Every structure is written in C-alpha cells, then in structure tokens.
C-alpha cells in the first residue's frame, strides 16, 4: 500500500483522503509538532512515505537526497519556488502543482485588497475601534486604472473583475493572450509604461531569479504618485524595505499584501507600522471551492502517476523524461 504524507497546513480535511483510500493508498497528516524548516526533522517525518501533499514548506536538496523512497511532491497550489527542482530532477522525484483550480479565489482576494486599500482600510477600521472618527475622501475606484503584471490565468480573472468595476486595465506579459485582451479591452503595454500610468499595480508573476525584487526602490519610484501596490503572487517579487520607504514618503499611497519574503511576516517588519497597508496571510487562493478542487486534483495526480500516467499539465519538472516509473526496481 503506497503511503502519502500530508504536510500542507490546510490538508487536515478534504476529499483527498477518500479518493486516495479508494485507490488503495494510505494518507497521513504530519505531526504538527515537527518543525518542517529543520531539514533533519522533515527528512525523518518523510521516512516511509512515497508521496507528499505539500504546502509552501521548503524542500531543500538535503531533504530530497535524504528521502530516497520519495517519488512525488504534489504541491497544493501553483507555486513551487520552495522546492529544489534541480535536486528533484536528479533524484527522479516528480513535482506537481494544481493549475486551474484557484484563480477565481485569488482574483476575488486581489480585488478585495484593492478595494480595501483604495477606500482607506485598515485606517478606517482602526479609527472607529479607538473612537477617532474621521471623514476623509478617497479616490473613487471606478474610472481608475489597474495595471496587471502577468496576464496568465489569475491575471485574466482579475482583469474581468476590474472591467466589471468600471476600471481601465493595462497589462504586461511576455506572452500575452491577445484574443483575451481584445475581448476585454485590456491594453497591452510594457512594464515601465504600466507603472507610470496605473493607479493600482497588481502582481501576478511567478517567482524566478529574474523577477526577484521586481518591485524595488527604482521601480517603485516609477509608479504613479499616490498609486497602490497589490501582491497576491509571491513575496520575493517585492523589496519590502523599499516598499515601506516608498509608503512612508507618500509616493506610494498604500499596499495590499498577501505574500511576503519571509512567512510568517516578522513582527519587526517596518510594514507593520504603516496605516495604509492591508495584510492577509498567504490565503488568496483559498476558498471552499478551491480547497476541495485542489485536494481532489492532488489526490488524482498522485494516483495517475502511480498507475503509469503522466499528467503533464500538472508536472513542473523532469521535462525531458520519457521513462519515469513509480517503482524504482
């Protein structure tokens, strides 16, 4: 009976247990007292398990090399930057994600952050809580311009919602869907023009070496005066110290942040001292529907791989492999 370890923080409940059990798998949840950031402890927890349903926890080379029985790391989400892909390729460990199940959740969350910061939260909320009522007008969102950096599945879902709010939408993407852009009246432009013209900039790019600190002191300075930054993609896209400084000086009006360079966000982060930043804890892609669909896809992907299938739309590594087998013998 193949064994699967669930390490994702939201894996305690979901359809994956029933789906895996029906296929003859055993699925367990990791002991939550184990610190998965300690490589030796994580490796010990993985002992005996051939697949792992993973969250955002890191899978460094040491963990991969120390888990020779591991065949699949099934990420419950679309990001896999915390996994050492090179080590997985060398060890023959398949890394999978769950594309197409959470883009509506992320899009709604993005718009919620945009509206919240745009209309003055969390300051409005905090002033009411302390009896400091203050009537301050904020710019209307309708009629403003949203710049979307990355027009993939999530970026497109954000764009349709923004159009529905009466916003003008700009987008930059190295390989844009031009048919979509034409249908939804999204203006395709370059990164610098987008920064200069947008009242809101929303990030939807992957985390790569090229996109690390995409938003830094220089690029933040090129944003429109009084504009707002939204990040529901990856924390590494933003230089947080530079963002805090840009907000302090007033060049940037505020930010809505769901992801951070270090998670949980350290309590000494300068961002926490700013009134015009709205926070969430890496939950943009999580709603009831996406949770169900994500863990159903994870389970079925593992079962498919065990049965000799190759769900290429979910697989993020071993691109040139043609003879991968679950059984190493």
The model's pLDDT over 234-272, given as tens digits with 9 standing for 90+, comes to 999 999 999 999 999 999 999 999 999 999 999 999 999
- Confidence band (pLDDT; 50, 70, 90) for 320? confident
CB 96 within 8 A of CB 295: no
User: What is the side-by-side order of every strand in the sheet holding 227-231?
Assistant: 186-188, 168-172, 145-149, 200-203, 227-231, 252-257, 277-279
**What number is the average pLDDT over the span 169-175?**
98
CA dist., res. 175 & res. 152, Å (int): 9
Beta bridge partners of 147: 170, 201
**What number is the average pLDDT over the span 284-303?**
97
CB 111 within 8 A of CB 135: no
Domain ranges in the chain with CATH number 3.40.50.720 = 3-100+287-306, 103-279
Q: How far is CA 188 from CA 144, 148, 171, 214, 305, in A?
A: 17, 10, 5, 19, 39
Helix (H, G, I), strand (E, B) or coil at 16: helix
What integer pLDDT is reported at residue 163 of this predicted model? Answer: 98
The CATH H-level superfamily of 3-100+287-306 is NAD(P)-binding Rossmann-like Domain (3.40.50.720)
In CATH terms, is domain 103-279 a member of 2.40.33.20?
A: no
What integer pLDDT is reported at residue 174 of this predicted model? Answer: 96
- Pairing outcome for strands 186-188 and 200-203: unpaired
What integer pLDDT is reported at residue 328 of this predicted model? Answer: 83
Backbone angles phi, psi at 175, to 5 degrees: -135, 70
CA dist., res. 19 & res. 308, Å (int): 17
Q: Give the active site residues.
A: 234, 263, 282
Q: Residues 32-86: pLDDT tens digits?
A: 999 999 999 999 999 999 999 999 999 999 999 999 999 999 999 998 999 999 9
Q: Indicate if the pLDDT at residue 329 is higher than 80.
A: no
Beta bridge partners of 52: 5, 73
- Confidence band (pLDDT; 50, 70, 90) for 209? very high
């Amino acid at each position: 009976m193949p064994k699967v370890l669930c390490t994702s923080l939201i894996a305690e409940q979901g359809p994956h247990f029933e789906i895996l059990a029906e296929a003859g798998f055993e699925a367990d949840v990791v002991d939550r007292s184990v610190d998965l950031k300690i490589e030796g402890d994580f490796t010990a927890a993985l002992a005996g398990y051939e697949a792992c349903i993973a969250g955002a926890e890191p899978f460094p080379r040491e963990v991969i090399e120390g888990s020779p029985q591991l065949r699949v790391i099934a990420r419950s989400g679309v990001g896999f930057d915390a996994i050492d892909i090179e080590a997985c390729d060398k060890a023959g460990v398949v890394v999978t994600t769950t594309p197409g199940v959470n883009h509506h959740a992320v899009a709604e969350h993005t718009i919620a952050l945009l509206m919240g910061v745009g209309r003055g939260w969390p300051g409005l909320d905090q002033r009411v809580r302390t009896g400091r009522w203050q009537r301050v007008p904020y710019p209307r969102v309708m009629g403003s311009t949203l710049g979307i950096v990355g027009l993939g599945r999530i970026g497109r879902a954000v764009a349709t919602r923004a159009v529905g709010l009466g916003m003008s939408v700009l987008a930059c993407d190295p390989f844009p869907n031009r048919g979509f852009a034409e249908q939804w009246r999204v203006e395709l432009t370059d990164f610098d023009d987008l920064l200069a013209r947008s009242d809101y900039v929303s990030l939807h790019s992957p985390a790569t070496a090229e996109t690390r600190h995409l938003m830094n002191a220089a690029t933040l300075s090129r944003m429109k005066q009084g504009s707002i930054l939204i990040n529901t993609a990856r924390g590494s896209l933003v230089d947080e110290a530079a963002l805090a400084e840009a907000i302090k000086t007033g060049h940037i009006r505020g930010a809505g942040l769901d992801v951070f360079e270090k998670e949980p966000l350290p309590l000494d982060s300068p961002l926490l001292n700013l009134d015009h930043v709205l926070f969430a804890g890496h939950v943009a892609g999580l709603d009831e529907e996406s949770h169900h669909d994500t863990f159903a896809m994870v389970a079925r992907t593992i079962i498919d791989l065990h049965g000799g299938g190759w769900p290429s739309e979910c697989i993020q590594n071993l691109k040139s492999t043609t003879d991968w087998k679950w059984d190493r013998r």
